[in-house]
Amino acid sequence: MIAIVNYGMGNLRSVQKAFEHIGAKAAIVHRPEEIDNADRVVLPGVGAFGDAMDNLKTAGLIAPIVKAIAEGRPFLGICLGLQLMFAESEEMGQHKGLDILPGGVRRFPKGQRVPQIGWNKVRIQRETALLDGVPDGSYFYFVHSFYVASKRDDDVIGTTDYGIDYASIAGSGRAFGVQFHPEKSQDAGLKILKNFAEHV
């Protein structure tokens, strides 16, 4: 069973429906033990980084998420969920993240329209099972004002150009994060969810 973590940061229904569409069973969960019992964990989310960490902490969800990743269970962060995987964020003050990947969350430099909203291209930097059958240069649907700056080159799986070249897919081991919304990125996005559910 795939557990989609509900911690009060946005609508998770689309993510659940997208998994169902590709034939995977996914449940929206909010209790620590539900994460402990899950085969795979998905952390979606829209909103502010600080609020998100506060909510995860209050609900007691940080330890089970970190444990799932440490045990090598497949993990997928989506949008804010990717950003939360990093050590810290400068969104509205300094905040600590889940610290699964070294690096931080930064605001797009001035001169670019923020938030970035729309379809942009992902250039694949490293082969992984998550991207099996996804052509290099595929377009995905993005909505975000901050991006992740990885400290380890190996963690950068895909990059996107929006004024700067930034990591739009990052990960290590079986823990992955995507900055775009795979559940709204048509077949390319559904393929990633399918790979996550079946091959990662």
Partner 1 sequence: MLAKRIIPCLDVKNGRNVRGVRFSADKDAGDPIALARRYDKEGADELVFYDITASAEKREIVGELVRRVSEEVFIPFTVGGGVRTYRDIRTIIEGGAEKASINSAAIHTPEIITQGAESFGSQAIVGSIDAIRRPLSDCSSEPRWEVVINGGRTPTGKDALEWAEELVDRGAGELVLNSIDADGTKAGYDIELNSMVAERVDVPIVASGGAGGPEDMYAVLSKGKASAALAASIFHYHQYSIFEVKTYLAERGVPVRPKIEIDLT
Residue selected from 83, 189, 196, 200 as contacting partner 1 according to rule CB under 8 A:
189
Give catalytic status of residue 183 as yes or no: yes
Among residue numbers 49 through 108, which ones bind partner 1 (CB under 8 A)?
A: none
- Of residues 106 and 184, the one with the C-beta less far from partner 1: 184
Q: What one-letter code names the amino acid at 1?
A: M
Say how many C-beta atoms besides its own lie within 10 A of residue 34's C-beta: 18
From the candidates 79, 91, 95, 144, give the one annotated as an active-site residue: 79
Residue selected from 1, 14, 58, 152 as contacting partner 1 according to rule CB under 8 A:
14
- Of residues 113 and 126, the one with the C-beta less far from partner 1: 113
Q: What is the residue-wise DSSP string for 162-190?
A: ESEEEEEEEEETTEEEESS-GGGSHHHHH
129 touches partner 1 (CB under 8 A): no
46 touches partner 1 (CB under 8 A): yes
Residue selected from 109, 173, 186, 199 as contacting partner 1 according to rule CB under 8 A:
186
Q: Is 52 helix (H, G, I), strand (E, B) or coil?
A: helix
128 touches partner 1 (CB under 8 A): no
**Which residues are within 8 A (CB) of 122 and not within 5 positions of it... i.e. 6 or more apart?**
137, 138, 139, 140, 158, 159, 160, 168, 169, 180
Binding segment for partner 1 among 28-36, 59-67, 123-131, 189-197 (CB under 8 A)? 189-197
Radius of gyration of the chain (CA): 15
Element (H, E) at 123: strand 123-124
Give catalytic status of residue 79 as yes or no: yes
Say how many C-beta atoms besides its own lie within 10 A of residue 198's C-beta: 13
Total number of residues that touch partner 1 (CB under 8 A): 36
Determine the Cα–Cα distance for residues 167 and 171; give it in Å rounded to an integer: 10
- Residues making contact with partner 1 (CB under 8 A): 11, 13-14, 17-18, 20-22, 46, 113, 115-121, 133-135, 138-139, 141, 143, 161-162, 183-191, 194
Active-site residues, by number, are: 79, 181, 183
